[in-house]
Structure 1
Amino acid sequence: MARDIETMIDIHAPVADIWRILIDLPRYPEWNPLVVRVSGSLTVGKRLDVAVRLPGRRPMSFSPILIAMTPEREFRWVGTFGISALFAGEHSFRLIPESNGAIRFEHSERFTGFLPLFMGLHWYERVRQGFESMNHALKKRAETLEK
């Protein structure tokens, strides 16, 4: 059984600007309230070092593997706790051009394994709130970039 969290926001900025923000890993602490640290190579198959802070919680660190990287379209990583049958989370950032000129930022995660069955709805709501806070921070940063 899987649990999905899917969020989105429309950003009125060029896709290249949004993408530059998303792949500028060292600057995440400047603007990102959810992913407070991320480092590593944005190369498929390589591990990243990530710390996330859910609302009202301390940062949690993990080392996911980058599983997809398509410039100006998406990047995804998957992290596990123990073996994937116990817990896996596939985190996705996607940029989709809209007909009105905006770029839709889709931010999601699919949780699979045994442990997600026992994580309460309150925990999933905190994750959703964290995603939403990052979405709004990305929108603000992209739409206020000096051209």
Structure 2
Amino acid sequence: MTTATGQKRRFDWTRAVVGGATIVAVLVIAALWQRTHPYSIETSVDIDASPREVWAALTDLEAYPEWNPSVGGIRGDLAEGGTVVYQEDGSDVTGRVVEVVENEELRWETHAGVIGVFDGERTFTLEELADGRTRFTQSELFRGVTVLFVTDTLHDEVAPSFHAMNDALRDRVEGDE
């Protein structure tokens, strides 16, 4: 590059390093902030059945295509440390199972590529109600540097799919297919 006086301008390595380090620092800070401030979506439905009956339908992976409008198919090992692969919006999503409490809770984590870019933690909770019914709650915590830019999309697309799955699970368990 040449200056106005005709002198050749040298590349400023100090500025380049400081600029690059600043960008990396901002991304790291954003990722750390997002880890402690996730975006959350939660939906619930009351089901006229026991937690055992709801759990049986929820964990019958082979039957998902018969009733679940949100997940095209799912396979895997529903044990802590196991892996599940499910189809959502035409793509395969791989999750690592982090908690299984029979008739109470199932939880897995997913990552879109590198951890910290776009991560999800999906939880299914079954709560026995006093009248013998079950409150089924499906929630997901979204974390990562890209989450801040897609919260509207997540709200508009994920919440309705959660409601659809909740209703379909209720209909499946109650026999109203």
Q: TM-score, normalised by structure 1?
A: 0.90
Matched, 1:11 2:47: yes
Amino acid at match of 1:9: V
Which structure has the larger Rg?
2
Matched, 1:21 2:61: no
Q: 1:47 deviation in Å?
A: 1.4
Length, aligned pairs only: 140
Match of 2:150 in 1: 119
Matched, 1:30 2:55: no
Match of 2:3 in 1: none
Q: Larger relative contact order (C-alpha < 8 A, sep ≥ 6)?
A: 1
C-alpha distance in 2, partners of 1:80/1:128?
19
C-alpha distance in 2, partners of 1:123/1:43?
28
Match of 1:85 among 75, 91, 116: 116
Match of 2:163 among 108, 114, 132: 132
Q: 1:85 deviation in Å?
A: 1.1
Identify the structure with the greater strand proportion. Answer: 1
C-alpha distance in 2, partners of 1:20/1:122?
32
Q: TM-score, normalised by structure 2?
A: 0.75
Q: 1:124 deviation in Å?
A: 2.1
C-alpha distance in 1, partners of 2:44/2:60?
20
Match of 1:42 among 78, 88, 99: 78
Match of 2:129 among 69, 85, 98: 98
Name the SS of the counterpart of 2:54 in structure 1: helix
Per-residue deviation, residues 83-102 of structure 1 (Å, max 9, x unmatched): 22111100011100112322
Matched, 1:142 2:153: no
Q: 1:120 deviation in Å?
A: 4.5
Per-residue deviation, residues 91-135 of structure 1 (Å, max 9, x unmatched): 011100112322000100000011111115133221000000000
Match of 2:27 in 1: none
Alignment of 1:46-61 (within 5 A): 46-53=82-89, 59-61=90-92
Q: 1:37 deviation in Å?
A: 1.0
Identify the structure with the greater helix proportion. Answer: 2
Amino acid at match of 2:130: S
Structure 1 alignment gaps of length 5 or more = 54-58
Structure 2 contact 39–151 (Cα < 8 Å) conserved: no
C-alpha distance in 2, partners of 1:117/1:25?
32
